[in-house]
Structure 1
Amino acid sequence: MSTSSPLDVRIPSRWVGPLRISGNAIDDSVEVPLATYESPLWPSVGRGARVSRMIEGGIRATLIDARMARSSLFVAPDAAAAHLAEQALHAREPELAEVVASTSRFARLIDLHTEIVGNLLFVRFALFTGDASGHNMVTNAAEALQAEILSWGLDLEYGSISGNYCTDKKPSAVNGDLGRGRRVVADILIPHEVLEGTLRTDAGRMVDLVVRKNLVGGTIAGSLRSANAHYANMLLAIYLATGQDAANIVEGSQGITYAEEREEGLYFSCSLPHLIVGTVGNGKHLSHVDEALEAMGCREEREPGANANRLAAIIAATVLCGELSLLAAQTNQGELMRAHRSMERGRGSATQRPAGTTGEERA
């Protein structure tokens, strides 16, 4: 078979929810599509979604920042020349902003950070990219920026269009520090009776598990800016269903779950500092992706970036649903494996949305 022949790959997919979400990017009840071979994920996220509907306002998703970054590498004769060039770049930043604006009607230079290692100058350009995730937009802008900078006579040579200080599809600290993609925090305050009646647990056991498993366990494992149970599960499922670059779950799954026992119940949060998602661009033209984004309300006429912000908020809330449900199960000895055995028996692989049914019924 020719390697260029089309390959029809079908991943079992279900609509789950609805999730009740509020915040500065969304205030709505939304069903979410999850494409996964791990069928217990559907009812697990569905249980978290059920909790969201039992609380006024549901899950609060707070969008904190939105940007895409590309780092370019320049080579100088020595560190002194690299430092002089670095100073010139910061002094002439308005000129660089004009270059970025000329490459796209949406691209806008937000910031630039520099790092010198020996005679190497790394320049990390951060851009607003509208509703696109922005991979190609920032690379295109970086090419124009490099050409402009090299024309300034700063004793620099081309090193690479991407110098790995971005950082794309690799775990790192820099994305959490400086931002890359959408930074969203999803949180919820769950009353004690909901914890006991729906999740079969209590606030004390949940807080203990978050500390002992996610924070301590993650630390001794050497996790990098990450303390969570399984963000990658929910991210991959919704990335595949909505036409995202699935490899970006590598950095997207770096996030921190935090919990507090309060008088009113359990405060539970999921902080996701770099969700690289978009509602336009590569992969978004496919019919099933278009249908999913439209059903999620991410194809509306809004100001640039607002649809992608809404999608990021939905994704963060979905992550919280799955994280909450899994951790609740793990507070009870034997529950996790019993649930997997039960849920994986007889699971279908329907991808359509049956008329007149809710996401929870399907999941």
Structure 2
Amino acid sequence: MDARRVGGGRIGATRRALPLPMRITNGLAMVSLVLSSFDLLRLCSDRGRPLRFPLGGRELATVVCQLASVVYLLSLFAHSDAPATSGDDDEGGPAADAEPAPMHGAGMEGGDEEIVAAVVSGALPSHRLESRLGDCRRAARLRREALRRVTGRGVEGLPFEGMDYQAILGQCCEMPVGYVQLPVGVAGPLILDGREYHVPLATTEGCLVASVNRGCRAIAASGGAISVLLRDAMSRAPAVKLPSAKRAAELKAFVEAPANFELLASVFNRFIFPITIQLIACLGSVMVPMATFLPFCIFAVYSSRTYRAKCSRFGRLQDIHCALAGRNLYMRFTCITGDAMGMNMVSKGVENVLGYLRNDFPDMDIISISGNYCSDKKPTAVNWIEGRGKSVVCEATIKRDVVQKVLKTTTEKLVELNIIKNLAGSAVAGALGGFNAHASNIVTALFIATGQDPAQNVESSQCITMLETVNDGDDLHISVTMPSIEVGTIGGGTCLASQAACLNLLGVKGSIHDLPGANAQRLATIVAGSVLAGELSLLAALAAGQLVKSHMEYNRSSKDITKAAS
């Protein structure tokens, strides 16, 4: 086994075992080291009170703190060369889609047979393999073998090699046994806001990439599209219950009162690091004379302010809107979240506020951190009206000759089709935010390719497509309005190599230090621009009667299905 994998796994296990986040634990160790060093220097320089053995209580505590801090910090540096992720470049193994041979005794590493047997018998739960072994790749391999033995069915078509199993631990997927391959096509260039984008789409539906590509071609031939970001606010709405409707109304009035917003915002935006630094500074000022401790006090205050200033650029509360149902209250918190999609960020802030509100409303019973008024992964009117995530409108004016030559139809037919299908037809169906031809097709393909949460396609695909003739009826104006595009360029699936590559292709990978949130906002506009292209092309295919013909040509395999299945 690769020793570097074991080292990386041990570090991951150590980090997970810590009761506090790694950065806070490291900070406390550094603070302890500085404090104990200052105190030892003072004691050593005090001629009137020389160090004597056995050490007194204070001297012993100082020495223990010094040694503990040094040992902890050295333990980190000792494994600094061990990667946190498990690469496969040095394995010299089979291709990415190769299936590991079934393991029978001699084909397994020492102890593997016993571990697989324990998983099969139930003595060792499958979800504990990573923490037990400290090697995520080995855990996935053994879990895969245990699955084969339990079910009697192999998963030979499910790739195993080529995935960084350490990277997905605690972030993307639990109990992995492999990964699913999806083809990624590229449509474009999409000319949007004066920039060119080649849009990656992960899909198994034939015609989709070709259709979006045709829409991009029509938009480019007409001068490009323009987008506007209307709002950027992720939401979370906890549900609480009070003894009476009157009491619930009192809490609603308190939360929504403008005079209380700054107070609640300060609680929502609270961070533990500055508070920890300030607390340690206060304790340290008691332990060490002020003349010696003054430099550290200045450093602590400066670090606290610097950290708070950095955090103020994202995760800031914007608004609170409440809805009441009997004695149940739903409080919808919205905040900006930088380049992260931001659900976890908002949830942490909401927990802070709920804890604070209990001081004045001790009879408040917290039912759930999410009360479905958020609303996440469900088509709802509140998202359609108020928006969630990024609210974007994108438009383009398509020239008449482009409509005829590229789209093979006329502006009049497209406008009539949009009214009868997307507007009236959707109304007859009782659609909620579904006044479009196939926005979810493009949103889902882009989400999968760029590491977004595919389930959030539900609200992110809420879209109304509008078409009308302009310039004395010669040209076609098309727009899509999407109030709830939920995307991020950091966190979640964006850490995976394939998805990160697609984000990099679009020029929105990661975060821009001086412009937090800019990449995620631009990704949202790219989603809207791609939907615009897809809507334009599909409506043209429907108006020209080409939909069935194109799907029969591009979405039907000529292979013998019986032979492929065998």
**Is TM > 0.5 for Structure 1 vs Structure 2?**
yes
Structure 1 match to 2:552: 341
Distance (Å, rounded) in 2 between the aligned partners of 1:308 and 1:290: 13
Q: How does 1:1-363 map to 2 (within 5 A)?
A: 1=144, 2=146, 4-22=175-193, 27-56=194-223, 58-91=224-257, 92-103=260-271, 105=311, 106-153=314-361, 155-262=363-470, 263=472, 264-299=474-509, 301=512, 302-333=514-545, 335-344=546-555
Cα distance change, pair 171–46 in 1 and its aligned pair in 2 (3 A): same
Amino acid in structure 2 at the alignment position of 1:97: A
Distance (Å, rounded) in 1 between the aligned partners of 2:383 and 2:356: 26
Amino acid in structure 2 at the alignment position of 1:119: R
Distance (Å, rounded) in 1 between the aligned partners of 2:529 and 2:346: 27
Distance (Å, rounded) in 2 between the aligned partners of 1:5 and 1:213: 43
Cα distance change, pair 347–80 in 1 and its aligned pair in 2 (3 A): farther
Distance (Å, rounded) in 2 between the aligned partners of 1:151 and 1:230: 49
Q: Is the 8 A contact 1:39 1:347 kept in 2?
A: no
Distance (Å, rounded) in 2 between the aligned partners of 1:231 and 1:347: 28
Question: 1:276-302 CA distances to partner (integer Å, 9 max, x unpaired)?
Answer: 001011111111111111121113635
Distance (Å, rounded) in 1 between the aligned partners of 2:208 and 2:551: 9
Question: 1:272-327 CA distances to partner (integer Å, 9 max, x unpaired)?
Answer: 11000010111111111111111211136351111001100011000111111000
**Which is higher, the Rg of structure 1 or of structure 2?**
2
Distance (Å, rounded) in 1 between the aligned partners of 2:493 and 2:376: 18
- Bigger drift between 294-303 and 208-217 goes to 294-303
The CA deviation at 1:346 is: 6.3
RMSD value over aligned CA atoms? 1.7
Q: Is the 8 A contact 1:85 1:154 kept in 2?
A: no
Distance (Å, rounded) in 1 between the aligned partners of 2:268 and 2:188: 40
Distance (Å, rounded) in 2 between the aligned partners of 1:34 and 1:210: 25
Distance (Å, rounded) in 2 between the aligned partners of 1:48 and 1:79: 53
Task: Please give the secondary structure, in 2, of the residue aligned with 1:289.
Answer: helix
Task: Please give the secondary structure, in 2, of the residue aligned with 1:127.
Answer: strand
The CA deviation at 1:6 is: 2.2
Distance (Å, rounded) in 2 between the aligned partners of 1:192 and 1:132: 41
The CA deviation at 1:345 is: 5.2
Q: Is the 8 A contact 2:238 2:332 kept in 1?
A: yes
The CA deviation at 1:162 is: 0.7
Task: Please give the secondary structure, in 1, of the residue aligned with 2:237.
Answer: strand
Structure 2 match to 1:352: none
- Bigger drift between 44-53 and 151-160 goes to 151-160
Question: 1:128-172 CA distances to partner (integer Å, 9 max, x unpaired)?
Answer: 101111111111111111111112236322121111100000010
Q: Is the 8 A contact 1:34 1:234 kept in 2?
A: yes
- Bigger drift between 337-346 and 127-136 goes to 337-346
Task: Please give the secondary structure, in 2, of the residue aligned with 1:167.
Answer: coil
Q: Is the 8 A contact 2:407 2:541 kept in 1?
A: yes
The CA deviation at 1:237 is: 0.3
Distance (Å, rounded) in 1 between the aligned partners of 2:453 and 2:176: 21
Task: Please give the secondary structure, in 1, of the residue aligned with 2:394.
Answer: strand
Task: Please give the secondary structure, in 2, of the residue aligned with 1:310.
Answer: helix
Cα distance change, pair 127–347 in 1 and its aligned pair in 2 (3 A): farther
Amino acid in structure 1 at the alignment position of 2:232: A
Amino acid in structure 1 at the alignment position of 2:361: G
Question: 1:205-251 CA distances to partner (integer Å, 9 max, x unpaired)?
Answer: 00100000111111111101321111110011000000000001111
Question: 1:47-83 CA distances to partner (integer Å, 9 max, x unpaired)?
Answer: 0111121122x01111111110000111111111111
- Bigger drift between 146-155 and 166-175 goes to 146-155
- Greater relative CO (CA pairs within 8 A, separation 6+): 1
Distance (Å, rounded) in 2 between the aligned partners of 1:123 and 1:267: 39
Task: Please give the secondary structure, in 2, of the residue aligned with 1:63.
Answer: strand
Distance (Å, rounded) in 2 between the aligned partners of 1:210 and 1:269: 11
Distance (Å, rounded) in 1 between the aligned partners of 2:361 and 2:219: 58
Distance (Å, rounded) in 2 between the aligned partners of 1:267 and 1:17: 20
Distance (Å, rounded) in 2 between the aligned partners of 1:86 and 1:174: 18
Cα distance change, pair 133–5 in 1 and its aligned pair in 2 (3 A): closer
Identity of matched residues, %: 38
Q: Is the 8 A contact 1:81 1:155 kept in 2?
A: no
Structure 2 match to 1:355: none
Amino acid in structure 1 at the alignment position of 2:549: R
Amino acid in structure 2 at the alignment position of 1:18: P
Which structure dedicates a bigger proportion of its chain to strand?
1
What are the ranges of 5 or more consecutive residues in structure 2 without an aligned counterpart?
1-143, 148-174, 272-307, 560-566
TM-score under structure 2 length normalisation: 0.59
Amino acid in structure 1 at the alignment position of 2:228: T
Structure 1 match to 2:7: none
Q: Is the 8 A contact 1:261 1:267 kept in 2?
A: yes
Task: Please give the secondary structure, in 2, of the residue aligned with 1:313.
Answer: helix
